[in-house]
Amino acid sequence: MTRRKIQIKKIDNTTARQVTFSKRRRGLFKKARELSTLCDAEIAVIVFSSTGKLSDYASSSMQQVIGRRQNLHSKNLNKMVQPSLEAQIDNTCKTLSSNETLERTHGMRQMIGEVLQRLNVEELQKLEELLEVGLSRVLKTKVCLSMLSLFGGIIIER
Amino acid sequence: MTRRKIQIKKIDNTTARQVTFSKRRRGLFKKARELSTLCDAEIAVIVFSSTGKLSDYASSSMQQVIGRRQNLHSKNLNKMVQPSLEAQIDNTCKTLSSNETLERTHGMRQMIGEVLQRLNVEELQKLEELLEVGLSRVLKTKVCLSMLSLFGGIIIER
DNA sequence: CTGACTATTATTAGTTA
DNA sequence: TTAACTAATAATAGTCA
């Protein structure tokens, strides 16, 4: 597309491929950012490199769709002052089960977004272990189906 | 960026904004496709227009990340020959609760992907209603926390 | 590897049909 | 409206430090 026109197929040379990956990924994110700003659109871009490394762009309201917090890249990730995991879970449970006025699905989705914004990776892993131990097989099945339903619903509604 | 350089801020004129949206969205998807092909990367791009309409691009392995089936756009979506919703759920439950060798989390994630690929939008909505009725509030809380944990885990691991 | 350079191609803003 | 056209800007493949 410049010194020479190239054809769009996998670049064999590993080094060249990595360089192109970096350049074009930056370009892709820039385009996404511009489109979002110019047209008031919400955009999420998720990229896995061939070595499995994840990077992403998300306009503000899409942060929760890709399940990450605005400040995930902060060096101070684990040093932030925040309530304990237990307190956060407890608070989430209380909010979930007491707020009768929230439409259920909407409330759940919002909750997912809100809590994701407060938990970091390590905490999510602890939470997962916690559930791992506590859930019966029957419950797991229901959980899975619920996830399926809701996770599907978040994205698929169109 | 052509007849004139523009500055990147929301385009006021509605018509112009819509036109630009269409053009640039196509450009964004093309860039994503090229990056995926050239560099063997897995990419998902999710776009909501300002009016809320969803469109997306996903390289093959990312189809399940954005929760849609390869043939979602098929006109024959609802005419496909497939087992009843009840049979699918039943089968999913059996698989989930009988396969002892599947590592739990991995199994769940795989299941989500697999089932999403078989259910269509209407079926997901029916499934959601079904769960709506059946789940107690306590279970809902656990379901939400599980989703949080697993949904977070899918994306956040890096 | 990483960043800067630039000749060229690709994208697109504004225009016209 | 929607589509095609181009002049002009933007992105980038290849190169070099």
Examine residue A2 and state whether it is found in any structural domain, yes or no: no
B74 confidence band (pLDDT: 50, 70, 90): very low
pLDDT at B63: 55
Q: Which residue has the tokens 């309530």?
A: A83
Chain A, chain B: beta-carbon pairs less than 8 Å apart? 267
A40: domain CATH number?
Answer: 3.40.1810.10
Nucleotides of C strand lying within 7 Å of any protein CB atom: 1-2, 6-15
Q: What is the DSSP string of B104-141?
A: HHHHHHHHHHHHHHH--HHHHHHHHHHHHHH--HHHHH
Residue A74 lies in domain: 61-118
pLDDT score at B61: 62
- For position B62, what pLDDT does the model report? 62
Residue of A nearest to B147 (CA): A147
Residue A138 in domain: yes
* Same domain as A108, residue A67: yes
- A96 and A124 fall within a common domain: no
pLDDT at site B59 = 82
- Do A68 and A46 lie in one domain? The reply is no
Contact map slice: B 46-75 vs A, CB within 8 A:
46-50, 53-54, 62, 65-68
Residue B48 in any domain: the answer is yes
pLDDT band at B21 (very low <50, low <70, confident <90, very high): very high
For residues A117 and A75, what is the distance between their CA atoms, to the nearest angstrom? 16
Give the pLDDT score at B52: 63
Cβ contact B61:A46 at 8 Å: no
Are B65 and B113 part of one and the same domain? yes
> The pTM is what?
0.55
In the Cβ-directed half-sphere of B146, how many Cα atoms lie within 13 Å? Answer: 27
Q: Which residues 100-129 on chain B approach chain A with CB closer than 8 angstroms?
A: 104-105, 108, 111-112, 115-116, 119, 121, 124-125, 127-128
Partner-chain contact A32 B28, CB within 8 Å: yes
- pLDDT the model gives residue A12: 92
Residues B39, A24: C-beta atoms closer than 8 Å: yes
Quick one: B71 and B101 in the same domain?
yes
> Is residue A6 a part of any domain in this protein?
no
List chain B residues with CB under 8 Å of A46. Answer: 43-45, 62, 65, 155
Whether residue B83 is contained in a domain is answered as yes
From chain A, the residues in CB contact with B139 under 8 A are 139, 142
CB B57 within 8 A of CB B36: no
pLDDT value at residue B33: 95
Question: What's the average model confidence in pLDDT over B60-73?
Answer: 44
Consecutive 10-residue runs of chain A (158 residues): their mean pLDDT? 90 94 96 94 82 76 45 29 39 40 39 42 44 36 41 29
What pLDDT does A63 receive? 55
Q: Could you say which DSSP state residue B80 is in?
A: S
CB-based contacts of B110, cutoff 8 Å, min separation 6: B102
| Strand D nucleotides, any atom under 7 Å to a protein CB | 1-2, 6-15
- Mean pLDDT over all residues of chain B? 58
Strand B42-48 relative to strand A42-48, pairing? antiparallel
**Would A156 be classed as within a structural domain?**
no
Residue A148: strand pairing partners: none
Of B154, B49, B147, B158, nearest in space to A113 by CA: B147
If asked whether residues A65 and A111 sit together in one domain, one would say yes
- Work out how many domains chain B is built from and give that number: 3
Tell me which residue in B32, B47, B148 faces A41 most closely, judged by beta carbons: B47
> Which has more pLDDT, B58 or A90?
B58
User: Are residues B104 and B70 both part of a single domain?
Assistant: yes
Domain-embedded: residue B147: yes
Q: B39 or B105: whose pLDDT is higher? A: B39
Same domain? For A111 and A139 the reply is no
Mean pLDDT, residues B12-35: 95
pLDDT in tens, B114-148: 443 444 444 444 444 443 333 333 333 344 444 44
Q: What is the pLDDT of residue B37?
A: 93
